[in-house]
Amino acid sequence: MKLTIACLIACCSSSALGFVVQQPSSPALAASSTALFDSRRRQKLAARSKWIDNRGISGGTPTAEGSSKTGLMKNSDGLEYIKLVHPDTGATSEVYLLGGVVTSYVDGDGTEFIAVRPDAKMDGSKPISGGLSHCWPQFGPGAIQQHGFARNVNWSVKDMSDTSCVLELAPSEYTKEMWDKEFLCTFSVALEEDQLSTKMLVENKGVEALDFQAALHSYFTVSALDKLEIAGSFAGKDFLNKLVGDEGEMQTEEREVITITEEYDRVYKGVNDPILKDAGTGKSLSVLNNAGWEDTVLWNPFGNEGMGYNNFVCVESVKFDPVSLDGGSSWTGDMALKPGSL
Ligand SMILES: *[C@@H]1O[C@H](CO)[C@@H](O)[C@H](O)[C@H]1NC(C)=O
């Protein structure tokens, strides 16, 4: 199945390229278009290195190993992460083993789309506050701890290449104490030419059924909240506004486009096509929930300077109604991030 999908993607993208890029009719034309391509690529690489240098100085994810190296690395506090680099576009991504969380996705132009909060601990003393963090097997508060345990533990590396990695989470003594089920989670991340693809596979390896909720509690960078619009099929949808009363209140969204001017914690059930539009960067980011992720949660701690509220928004890919998996069956959440221009 995995191979088929990989092949499908590879085949599609190469045939698409073959279709669009026409064979130059003269050698001179061929040389000039190659030169143009090379210079565009050099510009992109330069922009990316500059971005990485800036980020290093401002104390973000350390990249002391060099910007083009890939594979398993350690940050300055000894936490392990995998660095992916796309050989053609220069796009990069970073995935921490603690929590199996994608903490960075930089496109070929050098734009970072994923946020890590300034108050995040990157030394393993607590889950990483930021990135595409997992809430599993429980979304909010409930029988086990808030957001579940997947973000607290080190995932293991099952497979890795320059542009992709596959992480696994299996039961341990720690997880069994909270939730004694025979599960296997596999989280795959692939840096493709024009998007970052993720896949969360949950398998019930046991005989008894198990129930879970799941979310990617995704933090995205924002140049400033007043520059941000979130488009999608929000208008006319009911949502749970968790910040009203003790239990929250069901309300109806009337806007076509969401802007954030107050604290947000809203569950939009049945909305899974959000697009972030940042007038500050001139970029858009489509959150393509291709399978499994049915709902969107919008979260922002408006006014909280310590959390850096004005430079991120959480637009979460969620499966809010519990999934019930019979023994031997599986569930897949497929989400891709696709940058574009405004
Ligand atoms: C996760 O792995 C790191 C090493 O990368 C280690 O220092 C840390 O203690 C581990 N954390 C847990 C919760 O097992």
The CATH code of the domain that includes 113 is: 2.70.98.10
pLDDT in tens, 98-144: 999 999 999 999 999 999 999 999 999 999 999 999 999 999 888 88
Q: Which atom of ligand 1 is nearest to the CA of 153?
A: 13
Ligand 1 pocket: which of 72, 98, 177 to mutate (most atoms within 8 A of CB): 98
pLDDT in tens, 149-204: 999 999 999 999 999 999 999 999 999 999 999 999 999 999 999 999 999 999 99
The verdict on the CB of residue 79 being under 6 Å from ligand 1 is yes
Instruction: Give the residue whose CA is nearest to atom 9 of ligand 1.
Output: 124
Q: How far apart are CA 164 and CA 83, in angstroms?
A: 9
Spatial strand order in the sheet of 330-341 = 156-160, 164-169, 183-191, 196-204, 330-341, 283-291, 275-278, 228-231
Q: Is the pLDDT of residue 39 over 50?
A: no
Identity of the residue numbered 28: A
The token duo for 333 is 């959440």
DSSP letter, residue 89: T
Instruction: Give the residue whose CA is nearest to atom 4 of ligand 1.
Output: 79
| Pick from 43-57, 208-222, 252-266, 313-327: least confident | 43-57
Q: Return the pLDDT at 11.
A: 34
Ligand 1 pocket: which of 73, 77, 79 to mutate (most atoms within 8 A of CB): 79
DSSP letter, residue 225: G
Distance from Cα 35 to the centre of ligand 1, integer Å: 47
Q: Return the pLDDT at 207.
A: 97
DSSP letter, residue 258: B
Task: Count up the domains in the chain and report the number.
Answer: 1
Q: Which atom of ligand 1 is nearest to the CA of 78?
A: 5
Instruction: Give the residue whose CA is nearest to atom 8 of ligand 1.
Output: 124
The verdict on the CB of residue 154 being under 6 Å from ligand 1 is yes
For residue 3, tell me if it sits in a domain. no
Q: Is the pLDDT of residue 294 over 60?
A: yes
Residue with the larger pLDDT of the pair 23 and 276 = 276
Distance from Cα 186 to the centre of ligand 1, integer Å: 19
Distance from Cα 145 to the centre of ligand 1, integer Å: 19
For residue 143, tell me if it sits in a domain. yes
Q: Return the pLDDT at 190.
A: 98
Distance from Cα 213 to the centre of ligand 1, integer Å: 25
Q: Return the pLDDT at 67.
A: 66
Instruction: Give the residue whose CA is nearest to atom 3 of ligand 1.
Output: 79
Question: Percent of the chain beyond pLDDT 90?
Answer: 78
CA-based nearest residue to 197, from 294, 338, 4: 338
The verdict on the CB of residue 124 being under 6 Å from ligand 1 is yes
Q: Which atom of ligand 1 is nearest to the CA of 154?
A: 1
The verdict on the CB of residue 153 being under 6 Å from ligand 1 is yes
Q: How far apart are CA 93 and CA 86, in angstroms?
A: 9
pLDDT in tens, 17-27: 333 333 333 44
Residue ranges making up the domain that contains 99: 34-341
Q: Return the pLDDT at 1.
A: 36
Q: Is the pLDDT of residue 9 over 60?
A: no
Instruction: Give the residue whose CA is nearest to atom 2 of ligand 1.
Output: 154
Residue with the larger pLDDT of the pair 145 and 228 = 228
For residue 240, tell me if it sits in a domain. yes
Residue with the larger pLDDT of the pair 146 and 7 = 146
For residue 10, tell me if it sits in a domain. no
Distance from Cα 82 to the centre of ligand 1, integer Å: 15
For residue 6, tell me if it sits in a domain. no
For residue 19, tell me if it sits in a domain. no
Average pLDDT value over all residues in the chain: 86
Q: Is the pLDDT of residue 60 over 50?
A: no
Query: What is the reported pTM?
Result: 0.82
* Mean pLDDT, residues 267-289: 98
Question: Percent of the chain beyond pLDDT 70?
Answer: 80
The verdict on the CB of residue 276 being under 6 Å from ligand 1 is no
Q: Which atom of ligand 1 is nearest to the CA of 80?
A: 5
For residue 25, tell me if it sits in a domain. no
For residue 151, tell me if it sits in a domain. yes
CB environment 97-119: b (16+ within 10 A), e (fewer): bbbbbbbbbbbbbbbbbbbbbbe
Instruction: Give the residue whose CA is nearest to atom 13 of ligand 1.
Output: 153
